[in-house]
Structure 1
């Protein structure tokens, strides 16, 4: 197991779980989190050993929440996300769950103390925003995706940033996914594969209740503007449930869950989807699916579990089953890491031709086991949270990780116990 060192970043809230953010840019590192008073906080340091500097930007008053936008409540949807554009300006968004858009941008390159609240991006369809995501396209252009609307009734919107004017415009003239006023799509962010396509997987939901997920769907694109089905058939935008390509037609109550859907790639660069749903006996199972290029999907059940993850209702729920994106490991083999509240954890070794499990092996984390053990004595129910850093060009890295301890996800309402602050730290391999 690799050796770890750690450095304190600051104090963070421990009375609920929400994801923080860690980003590397050249020889600088940036973090965003909520302090022990639930206040948005940003930090930066020079790598490898610089001291952390902190800044707390001011937001605006949200009358519906009876609080300012730089203070969060107990909603685990209110994660934070960051980006740095081609001129070095910092972008920050988050603390949104059907809220007015909450967006900050620095006035000086790489300077957290110049972060200021920007009241809008385009000024349209920004009053009920959720799930902010920054990412970059093939040309390094900064994009922003969010949902307009609510769970069970919403559309996916994409914006494009213009560094010359520091303005945002729509990437598409229409939403990419359209719930038709009756549902919304829960999509993973588009991921670029070795075949040059951007691949996206999503499922539809009929209401705020998570058991109403249905119809796992797929689309791909060369440029994030023109989209098509797996056989190359063009998709007219916006993509609705009736227009899209259905990978698995599980109905409401069929076990699809938006927390467990990923796109990976086999050794030939072909997209492979993984997802959770119930089998004919009502048990939870993991499935793989791969398109054949002719509009059909090869689907295989990986697991042989005998438990049922019986999720239902609204609000954030705990991930009692996790499945990693399929990863090519050579010699015609894939690997998938899995965890389960009932069956433990492990790694499946998969024949990529048949998509069948050849062997199982123990799950081994990048992070030393002791780092996953609570040590701050916050509360007996506190759990360790570890989030990987990402590079500002969104290339992968495995050196730096953000670690803290907090009470678990709890349907977006407060726990009935009190905690102090948690120590937020960066651990380095």
Structure 2
């Protein structure tokens, strides 16, 4: 099993950028219809939380869609009407049988506003479903194939948008240390394999390898950018080298100088940003962002000369890639082996905000902070406490079963969402992902077998809507 680094970041990132209005309970829609507000805290369903696995939530103009594992472990989708608060639910015929925290869920709308769902897999058959018609749950009651090839050992699914707005889908086929990244594209109502050759090679000379990469991120220059580390087998300590490539169409790839890279990219042909040997503290929680000039900035961890773990940033200038240490920690994080573990150090990747280059960082000695960097040198200039909004008071009081931790997820906007709207967050409880994806022996009072909690949709009122 692969080590997938999970961080504490989403537990506070979900709290940023919202506004609560405690006033009216009804609003007027953009077409003049009076609309009752959904409750500020709506119980959507009861969910199974034997391990901390990521749910997903997405909204369009009329509905909120939430994908989760229900109390009986079935992959489920709830549809919440944003005007009336009424709910509909459907089960996708895929059941979470194990304890694997890799089995995250991902959602997307296509250009016809149909919902697509994928999840519940780790080196297992592809699980994919989609609506037949916009905002109608019919069609989600069956698992479909996409292209019919390389769909028996799927992991890490996610949807994205091509430059022209069409829907894309990427996933790993194969095992950790011996897998390839495949890309599909939705054409009309059917999927096609977009890359006849995998982007990253599954082998380097005589050794198996596997690329652990960021998402393919569309930058302000019109290129997709990606950064990754290589791994030789399932053990996280075999990660090596930070690498980079870019592409206009996800078919033809090049390095930062514009030199074409033949596919699949191998450790020998890849552009290396930072040469880092195995067992040097390089993890697969690498992040990619952009500075104010639109240049890619890569965030990653590695040991310093004393053996402590530090956060580094790499950015290319005229002379080549330069790596700068952002921290001077004395803390060492050195996980070994495979399976999901709780992330001791997490970071969001840099982004431009109010004219400053910032990043959300979590580390046990400092807890959760906002780092502010100098845009020219990438050196750390300021450390701030993260700014939380009023949603904290809505969710923080929640108490879960013994041994459970609270998980939060922003409801993302997609499809035909129009204009200013309320913000929404889902929350639920689960056991922490601290058991390396193994089953739990819940036979003692210290660890009861009740892993079920309420899935709550919390709404933060927008002050910009017309209400009466």
**Alignment TM-score > 0.5, same fold:** yes
Q: Identify which of structures 1 and 2 has the higher relative contact order when contacts are C-alpha pairs closer than 8 Å and 6+ apart.
A: 2
How many residue pairs get aligned? The number is 413
Q: Does 1:336 align with 2:336?
A: no
Alignment correspondent of 1:20: 55
Map residues 270-289 of structure 1 onto 2, 5 A cutoff. 270-289=295-314
1:398 and 1:133 map into 2 onto residues whose CA distance is 25
Asked if the contact 1:136/1:394 (under 8 Å) is kept, the reply is no
| Residues 329/392 of structure 1: CA separation in 2 closer, same or farther (3 Å cut) | closer
| Residues 18/394 of structure 1: CA separation in 2 closer, same or farther (3 Å cut) | farther
Alignment correspondent of 1:97: 122
Quote how far apart the aligned CAs of 1:32 are: 0.7
Map residues 105-144 of structure 1 onto 2, 5 A cutoff. 105-144=130-169
Alignment correspondent of 1:357: 380
Asked if the contact 2:344/2:363 (under 8 Å) is kept, the reply is yes
Q: Does 1:378 align with 2:401?
A: yes
Alignment correspondent of 2:323: 299
| Residues 420/136 of structure 1: CA separation in 2 closer, same or farther (3 Å cut) | same
Q: Does 1:392 align with 2:409?
A: no
In structure 2, list runs of 5 or more residues that go unmatched.
Answer: 1-17, 22-39, 442-446, 461-468
Q: Classify the secondary structure of the residue corresponding to 2:191.
A: strand
2:270 and 2:83 map into 1 onto residues whose CA distance is 47
Show CA shifts across 1:254-293 (max 9, x none). Answer: 111112x111111111111111111111101000110115
Alignment correspondent of 1:424: 455
Alignment correspondent of 1:249: 275
Q: Does 1:3 align with 2:20?
A: yes
2:424 and 2:400 map into 1 onto residues whose CA distance is 24
Map residues 39-54 of structure 1 onto 2, 5 A cutoff. 39-54=74-89
Show CA shifts across 1:180-234 (max 9, x none). Answer: 2601001111111222221111111111111111111111112222211111111
Q: Does 1:402 align with 2:426?
A: yes
Asked if the contact 1:21/1:387 (under 8 Å) is kept, the reply is yes
1:398 and 1:276 map into 2 onto residues whose CA distance is 36
Map residues 195-210 of structure 1 onto 2, 5 A cutoff. 195-210=221-236
Map residues 257-272 of structure 1 onto 2, 5 A cutoff. 257-259=283-285, 261-272=286-297
Show CA shifts across 1:343-398 (max 9, x none). Answer: 3221221111011111211122456444564633311x211101122223599999
Q: Does 1:323 align with 2:355?
A: no
Asked if the contact 2:59/2:415 (under 8 Å) is kept, the reply is no
Quote how far apart the aligned CAs of 1:21 are: 0.8
What is the RMSD computed on CA atoms of the aligned residues?
A: 2.2
1:222 and 1:236 map into 2 onto residues whose CA distance is 15
Please identify, of 2-11 and 274-283, the stretch whose mean Cα deviation from structure 2 is larger.
Answer: 2-11
Q: Classify the secondary structure of the residue corresponding to 2:138.
A: helix
| Residues 143/115 of structure 1: CA separation in 2 closer, same or farther (3 Å cut) | same
What is the TM-score normalised by the length of structure 2?
Answer: 0.83
Q: Does 1:191 align with 2:217?
A: yes
Show CA shifts across 1:316-361 (max 9, x none). Answer: 1111101121122355x31121111233221221111011111211
1:358 and 1:112 map into 2 onto residues whose CA distance is 49
2:307 and 2:415 map into 1 onto residues whose CA distance is 42
Asked if the contact 1:264/1:272 (under 8 Å) is kept, the reply is yes
In structure 1, list runs of 5 or more residues that go unmatched.
Answer: 59-68
| Residues 25/368 of structure 1: CA separation in 2 closer, same or farther (3 Å cut) | closer
